[in-house]
Chains A and B, each alone.
Chain A
Amino acid sequence: MNSLYYQKRLSRNIGDKFFTSLSVICALIAILPLIFLVTYILYKGGSQITPELFTLEPNPPGDDLDAGGINPALIGTLIITTIASIIAIPVGVGGGIYLAEYSKGGAFSRFIRFGVNVLAGVPSIIAGVFIYALIVSTKILFGSMYSGLAGGMALSILMLPTVIKTTDEGLKLVPNELRYASLGVGASMYTTILKVTLPSAFRSIATGVVLGIARAAGETAPLIFTALFSYYYITGFGDLFYEMGSLAVLIYNFALEPYDAQNKLAWAASFILVLTILSVNIFSRILAAFTEKTKRV
């Protein structure tokens, strides 16, 4: 009879140990790039952070002494992401409501779900080229070509699938009993959605929206085709129709410059961008955790 005590030498126990450690090692390798990337950027960019960085315009390359700041790019990223949100959130939430509440699983809704999944997989540069062809090259927006507005539109295409999907899934989590309760007291479908189901799903939808914003804020390729870049302060509403700087494109442009000062500015901008996206992601995690808690009550 075998002893009941754990035996290290047994081949099944050796195999078990081996595979456990193998999977732990793989998990560590998977997370290494993130750790290295974040620490490297924090190290390289963190040392460049000064108060002037947030207030000055970037100097044109060539002036090797001082590269200036990233104020226009920072504000530009904010504006472009806001434009993208203004377009993508209503359309996305509305589309999600249709899929979860109104559609009966017919061919049309299946087509939309499939389309949303395809859109989620479209390379971001394609979204940029699409808006370039549709808006920039045709000068359809009051004759302006490259503009912050066009950049926001390109980013909204990237945000849309995330918003639709999370709205759809968030609404599906709302128990049917709640819908019946509302319809049972004579509420119309529209009142039910607006007053009962949407508020119940609000936090999970908000989480999805925040993640969509985080994704859009870090995109470069679509902006190169649409918003291009600008060295100058954003002073008024009219600037929406002209080239607009953004953190991502600033990094792309200045990292390629042969001058050290510009490279350093690119590192500083990377630092700010990574920090922003990281904190937005953490914010969405907190939001999601909060949702879990309220659901259990």
Chain B
Amino acid sequence: MIKTNKKISKNIILSLENVSISYGTFEAVRNVFCNFKKGNITSLIGPSGCGKSTVLRSLNRMNDLIPNCSLKGTVLFDGTNIYDKRVDPVEVRRRIGMVFQQPNPFPKSIYENIAFGARINGFTGDMDELVESSLRKAALWDECKDKLNDSGYSLSGGQQQRLCIARTIAIEPEIILMDEPCSALDPISTLKIEETMHELKKNYTIIIVTHNMQQALRVSDMTAFFNAIEYEDGDGGKVGYLAEFNSTKKIFNSPKEKTTQEYISGKFG
């Protein structure tokens, strides 16, 4: 038993076991089982209201910040249930970074935006070097190396989002969560961020929520399709569930579920 656990944990960095999340009495997602592989990009797709963003936020306890949000089941990271009472959510977020839907740089200089996270995490090395390497990894260095002291707000939307990615990389997380990182951006910026993600894949595990199926196809190794249905015991509202989880190729070429086929071909969503 212990042996198999070890075997799994070699490749699986994060796993959801029978996770159900509710906001107050409203149940958002039910009974999710899912294993995220190390070094992979996994995309979560599905129609609005299927709970994919909720699931993503639960992975680094960002849901704690939403009043009345509660989670049942276990989220195993590094062999620990991150919802254990003894776990410090701040430490979880240091090891599992997050990039949000809207670019949200701090109202500080570009340099400070990146140095902030590192400094509060007790980084003692060469800060200039860290800023440069983080910006390089996020493919932003060439565009802003001459204006590191300008405000983060002076950048364009796409650049701001890459700054947010650089800021997340700077704290050296093991996993990066991205909540529709390109939904507020133009196609060219989107392409740049996707290139960045391919670069990051070498060192990090990425889990991304996206509404753009082409993007899921382009960037991810694994795809999880979430859907929402009405349960008989529910109060009439739709509850999200994990409909299908497989390699991106299989999801898009030969999905097992009929709903997956219908969603990716654009019949609903």
Please report A residues at the B interface, Cβ cutoff 8 Å. 104-105, 175, 177-188, 191, 195-196, 199-200, 297
Say which residue of B100, B120, B171 sits within 8 Å of A181 (CB atoms).
B100
A-contact 0/1 string along B49-88, CB 8 Å cutoff:
0000000000010100101000000000000000000000
If A182-B106, A185-B121 are given as contacts, then 14 extra A-B residue pairs at C-beta distance below 8 Å, sorted by A number, are A175-B104, A177-B102, A178-B106, A178-B107, A179-B65, A181-B105, A181-B164, A183-B62, A184-B99, A184-B168, A185-B120, A185-B167, A186-B97, A200-B107
Contacts of A186 in B (CB 8 A): 90-91, 93-95, 97, 117, 120-121, 171
Contacts A195-B116, A200-B107, A297-B153 known; A184 to B93 CB distance under 8 Å? yes
**Smallest distance from the beta carbon of B103 to chain A beta carbons, Å?**
9
State whether B62 touches A184 (Cβ < 8 A). Answer: yes
Top 9 A-B pairs, shortest CB-CB distance: A186-B94, A185-B117, A177-B104, A184-B98, A181-B104, A186-B93, A188-B90, A191-B120, A187-B120
CA gap between A104 and B62 in the complex, in Å: 16
Number of A-B contacts (CB under 8 A): 69
Say which residue of B67, B90, B107, B170 sits within 8 Å of A105 (CB atoms).
B67
| Closest A residue to B91 using CB positions | A186
Contacts of B106 in A (CB 8 A): 178, 181-182, 196
**Smallest distance from the beta carbon of B204 to chain A beta carbons, Å?**
14
Contacts of B170 in A (CB 8 A): 185
- Residues of A contacting B: mostly: helix
**Smallest distance from the beta carbon of A239 to chain B beta carbons, Å?**
44
Please report B residues at the A interface, Cβ cutoff 8 Å. 60, 62, 65, 67, 90-91, 93-95, 97-100, 102, 104-107, 116-117, 120-121, 153, 164, 167-168, 170-171
CA gap between A53 and B33 in the complex, in Å: 81
CA gap between A196 and B116 in the complex, in Å: 10
Contacts of A105 in B (CB 8 A): 67
**Smallest distance from the beta carbon of B171 to chain A beta carbons, Å?**
5
| Closest B residue to A175 using CB positions | B104
| Closest B residue to A188 using CB positions | B90
Contacts A183-B62, A183-B65, A185-B116 known; A178 to B104 CB distance under 8 Å? yes
| Closest A residue to B173 using CB positions | A186
Contacts of A200 in B (CB 8 A): 107
| Closest A residue to B170 using CB positions | A185
CA gap between A64 and B117 in the complex, in Å: 70
State whether A187 touches B153 (Cβ < 8 A). Answer: no
Contacts of A175 in B (CB 8 A): 104
**Smallest distance from the beta carbon of A138 to chain B beta carbons, Å?**
44
| Closest B residue to A174 using CB positions | B107
| Closest B residue to A189 using CB positions | B90
**Smallest distance from the beta carbon of A200 to chain B beta carbons, Å?**
6
Contacts of B62 in A (CB 8 A): 180, 183-184
**Smallest distance from the beta carbon of B63 to chain A beta carbons, Å?**
11
Contacts of B91 in A (CB 8 A): 186
CA gap between A178 and B164 in the complex, in Å: 11
State whether B90 touches A184 (Cβ < 8 A). Answer: no
State whether B67 touches A185 (Cβ < 8 A). Answer: no
Can you report 15 A-B residue pairs in the complex whose CB atoms are below 8 A from each other? A175-B104, A180-B65, A180-B98, A181-B167, A184-B60, A184-B62, A184-B97, A185-B116, A185-B117, A185-B120, A185-B170, A186-B93, A186-B95, A187-B90, A188-B90
Contacts of A104 in B (CB 8 A): 67
Contacts of B94 in A (CB 8 A): 185-186
**Smallest distance from the beta carbon of B164 to chain A beta carbons, Å?**
7
| Closest B residue to A192 using CB positions | B120
CA gap between A180 and B106 in the complex, in Å: 11
| Closest B residue to A196 using CB positions | B106
Contacts of A195 in B (CB 8 A): 116, 120
Contacts of A297 in B (CB 8 A): 153
Contacts of A191 in B (CB 8 A): 120
CA gap between A178 and B167 in the complex, in Å: 13
**Smallest distance from the beta carbon of B20 to chain A beta carbons, Å?**
22
CA gap between A183 and B170 in the complex, in Å: 14
CA gap between A14 and B62 in the complex, in Å: 61
| Closest A residue to B114 using CB positions | A185
CA gap between A182 and B168 in the complex, in Å: 10
| Closest B residue to A179 using CB positions | B65
Contacts of B100 in A (CB 8 A): 177, 180-181, 184
**Smallest distance from the beta carbon of B262 to chain A beta carbons, Å?**
34
State whether B65 touches A187 (Cβ < 8 A). Answer: no
CA gap between A278 and B60 in the complex, in Å: 51
CA gap between A199 and B112 in the complex, in Å: 14
